[in-house]
Amino acid sequence: MTDAAASVPVRRLSDWDAAELHTLVEDYGSPLYVLDRERVRENYRRLETAFPDAEILYAVKANALGEVLSTLREAGAGLECASAGEVQRALGAGASGSEVHYTAVNPPARDLDWVVDAWADGPELTVTAGSEDTIDRLEERGYDGRLCLRVNPGIGAGHHEKVATGAAAKFGVPAERAVDVLADAADRGFDVVGIHAHVGSGVSSDQLEAHREFVARMGDLARNVAGVVGGLEFVDVGGGFGVPYREDEAPLDLESVAEATREALGAVDADLTIEPGRYFVADAGVLLTEVNTVKEARETTVTGVDAGMTTLLRPAMYDAYHPIRNLTAEAGDGSIEAENGPAGRERVPQTVAGPICESGDVFCTDRQLPASKRGDVLAIGNAGAYGYEMANQYNSRPRPASIVLADSEARLARRRETVTDVTRPEREARSASPTDRKNDHDRATDTDNDPVR
């Protein structure tokens, strides 16, 4: 890996090798998630260079695959977890308690029970609470360890209103009450170590002023808190660093973001902590899917594929744009003619749609692509973040397999589900005893079910 390679700010879908991806579908079937571990490392190194003095945590919710967690841990990142299941994955990937932050948002009782038990074995684990009620519930369970308070700064930003968390009432204690809440927690014996907020997900360069104002408010709050409860270890300003999904969209000016963050935070006697997720993994992954139906509709050509909103939810959920390539067309005669139609195929407007019985199950509408044929393999770019993590079994559809590229080799990281996997909980419920059924909720985070692999 050269420094020049690491400095490339974004990997476009056109940078992936079409023949190699096509071969993966031949070997492993479709739909198929593919993730490049080296690209994850490159993204980490670039961010580490921009924020040399910051503690870097990876937001596990972006992609919780065990291979991703181990890659980023080896690179030097800690792990920020939004659930007990993610904490379990982090510990299963080899993280110690000191490398894990659990950020609770209205946590279920079983989550708190499991995390407090894990804290007993790893007392350096940090719990971030987003309400006074959560602090009470932790105290009831005997937790008096490292406590960080999530605050609501009243500023939100991001790629969609559904992920602009900084001003949403759901997240955090209002900033104006934070000092009192933390003073009370310290009086009750908690080890108050930090404050945390997250402005939103997918923040772009043109939202830098909102990011700057958000960080400035966190700096002011940190100084106020320190005057009341003593020094803090860290001020966590979250992540949300955006990536360019559209081909003509410029990458985030990371150096400018880093400089603006340091200037806005100001002088605080605490470390800066950031917790990106999408930035590490989005352009490290693609989704491969096979064309099964081509239909001439009244106003468009519908290209039906075997992936759908159960495989990649972002287009249906957020109206998100993802680039698409026809790999088969490009490999048809060994040439790539991006402007005039690969392999001589004419470009025609196409609506690429999945097999789910919902009108929202489309990846694009009337997009100019090489004319598709049944059996073609399409690649959907920037699928490494919130792709498999949001996959589901709606319409009783099994979730896809995942492949990891490492050391110039491809290996299966997650097998493809079957319908038998989808229906297994029902069969097990029918055969369970009344006692088993009554205690089923206690097994929701059972360590016998290894979530890392």
Sequence ranges of the chain with CATH classification 3.20.20.10: 104-276
pLDDT at residue 436, rounded to an integer: 63
Give the phi and the psi of residue 59 in degrees, each rounded to 5. Answer: -75, 100
Q: Which of 81, 148, 357, 364 is catalytic?
A: 357
CB atoms within 10 A of CB 212: 17
239 is known to lie in a ligand binding site: no
What does the block give as tokens for 379? 């690649």
Q: Quick one: average pLDDT of 301-328?
A: 96
Which of 16-30, 203-217, 316-330 is the least confident region?
Answer: 203-217
Domain boundaries 283-414, corresponding CATH code: 2.40.37.10
Question: Rounded distance, CA 159 to CA 54, Å?
Answer: 25
Higher-confidence position of 4 and 33: 33
Determine the Cα–Cα distance for residues 132 and 135; give it in Å rounded to an integer: 5
Place of tokens 């699928």: 383
Whether 163 has a pLDDT exceeding 50, the answer reads no
Percent of the chain past pLDDT 90, that is, above it, reads: 73
**Residue 148 annotated among the catalytic residues of the structure:** no
Has 426 been labeled as part of a binding site? no
Q: 3-state DSSP call for residue 446?
A: coil
> What does the alpha-carbon distance between residue 46 and residue 225 come to, in Å, rounded to a whole number?
32
Determine whether the annotation assigns residue 275 to a binding site: yes
Residue 165: per-residue pLDDT? 46
More confident residue, 154 or 89: 89
Is the Cβ–Cβ distance between 171 and 165 less than 8 Å?
yes
| C-alpha span between 196 and 120 (Å, rounded) | 23
In this prediction, residues 420-435 reach a mean pLDDT of: 88
- What pLDDT is attached to residue 1? 34
* pLDDT at site 41: 97
End-to-end CA distance of the chain: 27
Q: Fill in the amino acid letter for 443.
A: R
Residue carrying the six token digits 């060994």: 334
- Confirm or deny that 276 is annotated as ligand binding: yes
Instruction: Find out whether 139 is annotated in a ligand binding site.
Output: no
Return d(Cα 339, Cα 334) in angstroms, integer.
Answer: 16
| Strand-pair partners of 405 | 36, 410
Average pLDDT of 64-89?
Answer: 97
| pLDDT given at position 148 | 96
Q: For 63, how many CA atoms within 13 A lie in the half-sphere containing its CB?
A: 35
Q: What is the arithmetic mean of pLDDT over 174-196?
A: 94
Q: How far apart are CA 380 and CA 332, in angstroms?
A: 19
pLDDT of residue 337: 43
State the pLDDT at residue 242.
84
Mean pLDDT of 68-94: 97
Residue 341: pLDDT band by 50, 70, 90 thresholds?
very low
Q: How confident is the model at residue 408 (pLDDT cuts 50, 70, 90)?
A: confident
In this prediction, residue 214 has a pLDDT band, given cuts at 50, 70 and 90, of confident
Q: Is there a contact between 255 and 301 (Cβ–Cβ < 8 Å)?
A: no
Please state, rounded to an integer, the average pLDDT across all residues of the chain. Answer: 88
pLDDT band at 170 (very low <50, low <70, confident <90, very high): confident
CA dihedral 102, 382, 309, 297 (to 10 degrees): 170
Residue pair 346/370 in contact by the 8 Å Cβ criterion: yes
Quick check: 94 pLDDT over 90?
A: yes
Mean pLDDT, residues 168-192 taken together: 90
278 has binding-site annotation:
yes
Q: Does 166 count as an annotated binding residue?
A: no
Mean pLDDT along residues 287-316:
96
What pLDDT shows up at residue 416?
98
Looking at the chain, the domain(s) classified CATH 2.40.37.10 span 283-414
Query: Given pLDDT bands bounded at 50, 70 and 90, which one contains residue 161?
Result: very low
Model confidence at 211, pLDDT cuts 50, 70, 90, reads: confident
Element housing 308 (H / E): none
What kind of architecture, by CATH, is found in domain 104-276? Alpha-Beta Barrel (3.20)
Instruction: Decide if 234 contacts 240 (C-beta within 8 A).
Output: no
